[in-house]
Amino acid sequence: MKTYRPAVPFVFRPKQIYEQVADQIRAGIAAGAYAPGARLPSERELAQRMNVSRPAVREAIGALQNEGRVVTRQGSGTYVREGLAPASPAQPAATAHADFSPGSTLEVRLLIEPAIARLAARRGQRDEQAERYLREMAAVRNIADPAQQVLWSECDRLFHRQLAVMTQDALIMKIADEIAGSMSQPLWQRLRDDGIYDEDRIQLYVAEHRLIYEAISCGDEDAAAFYVQGHLKRVRKDIATRE
């Protein structure tokens, strides 16, 4: 008697909350509840309707922006893009594999990165590569310029990875590679870029990165962990909501 074996293994993955919210908005667009050119309800109103957090709604809207289904206008709101081609209401247009929730990524980073900073501070050494990333971030003046935005994104992502390199621990570096990978995903990039939108914000982030680095290089474990935690909490606040 032959045993049935599926050609492709089944993979079951529970959807993240932001994916479920995006599905509902996407279905509303497909059904005509949100017409082309129409303004979506505010993040606060959508959160209340769906009984979810505002950050989950913000992530869902970011995902729909990346799909090209909606556009957000600063100070005005989020609108359904006009001229959309018909699409399945439940299937994202871009990829079958959803990005990690930026909020969840930050929760993991808040657990791990202060410990990484402590380990790096135990060595108490300066690092040429980390200093180069700091210089390049500080040189960014116009975040609206796509080239400078890309430069900022890469230097920010790689600076945090470099802190793990400074520990000289292979396992820590492998963990940091996974975190850096999540920070290269389109949804993270979308929300982070929307949250850092002026020169003052850029320079504030540079100053926080500098405090982290100087605490590590002079061997102050407590200060290094403290500055990393404070910086990540600010990032979480900046990308959570923006209306």
Q: How far is CA 46 from the centre of its chain?
A: 21
Report in angstroms the alpha-carbon separations of 141 from 9, 129, 144, 148, 201: 49, 21, 9, 8, 10
Q: Are 120 and 216 in contact (CB under 8 A)?
A: yes
Question: How many CB atoms are closer than 10 A to CB 99?
Answer: 24
pLDDT of the chain along its 243 residues, tens only? Answer: 555 555 555 556 789 999 999 999 999 999 999 999 999 999 999 999 999 999 999 999 999 999 999 998 878 899 999 876 655 555 554 445 789 999 999 999 999 999 999 999 999 999 999 999 999 999 988 888 888 988 999 999 999 999 999 999 999 999 999 999 999 999 999 998 888 777 888 889 999 999 999 999 999 999 999 999 999 999 999 888 665
Question: Can you give the pTM of this predicted structure?
Answer: 0.84
- What pLDDT is recorded for position 144? 81
Looking from the CA of 1 toward its CB, the CA atoms found within 13 Å total 1
Which domains are assigned to the chain?
Answer: 17-80 (1.10.10.10), 102-240 (1.20.120.530)
Q: Phi-psi category of 100—alpha, beta or left, where left has phi over 0 and alpha has psi -120 to 50?
A: beta
